Copies of this chain bind each other. A is one copy, B any other.
């Protein structure tokens, strides 16, 4: 074996005593994921694109502003109420492009299949990818397929990487949240996570709760049409939920955020399931909702625009950006109390996407 002494010259930036191995929570989108990113990935790969804490990189190539974003999907089960891993893989990356203010154009598709995976299941996933791509208006431009031996994978893992173009005049980024800005959400929270968990735990509701997976580029477009440069931040609160997404924004922009619990749309059956399962819906993943942080003078127009779109009918103003408590998110409860809502620590829902 070749020795590569340069590898050994730098100590691992994660405390090995505390974290000798990777835990499920390192992939949960919360505090441990953040630790990997901030201590290991940023200092190693350091470059401006990576460090904006955006849902994707914004790159200028030949005078064109491109958005470039990647996501791997390892959801279990592969087929769930309201969707499957294929649809999720398309929508997830389309949405990350949309959250950069980009018009999604192309996807790459990387499949890691496990030996023994039923061919008809692959076909079902592939068709689902194409249907979702068509709905979102993107093309699968390039792909790769690998197969791992039985017991070294789990049916299929999917990576999609997306490429989009950002129109002139649009500049959205987590760091641009400003005190006074209004926080909007496009619809009811925690639906995807609870839909997945209901299947896993065999929970029964009167009606089947379906994942909210959907392409958000159309919804974002209507908001940008009316509020354009006054849309400062867009973000889809997936892994780690609403709370982790808002904490990232607060920390990135150096501002505080106050949430009004009573204003946050949540369906009764989702709330009930969260109570049964002991989950805080603020930390449960969404796959078809977006946060928009907009200048106060544009908030009303943005809200109306979101509500005019089929995916934004339940859009609501849920909070405000403030100067106080920079880096923190505070929830004002229905009865007037206040509590800090932190990033997800640990892992409450592994393999949700």
Contacts and interface: CB of A to CB of B under 8 A. Distances in A.
SS of A interface (majority): mixed
A116 B22 contact: yes
Nearest to A25: B147
Nearest to A55: B142
A56 B112 contact: no
A22 B122 contact: yes
Interface in A76-107: 79-83, 105-106
Contacts of A19: 119
Contact of A20 (B37, B62, B119, B161): B119
Interface residues of A, number: 100
Nearest to A131: B6
Contacts of A124: 7
Interface stretch (A42-50, A177-185, A229-237, A316-324): A42-50
Contact of A41 (B114, B126, B157): B126
A108 B161 contact: yes
Interface stretch (A9-17, A241-249, A255-263, A305-313): A9-17
Interface of A: 1-2, 4, 6-7, 10, 12-14, 16, 19-28, 33, 36-37, 40-41, 44-45, 47, 49-50, 56-57, 59, 61-64, 66, 68-74, 79-83, 105-106, 108-120, 122-124, 126-131, 133, 139-149, 151-154, 157, 159, 161, 163, 165, 199, 208, 210, 350-351
Given A13-B123, A45-B129, 7 more contacts: A2-B208, A7-B124, A12-B120, A16-B119, A40-B126, A45-B133, A159-B161
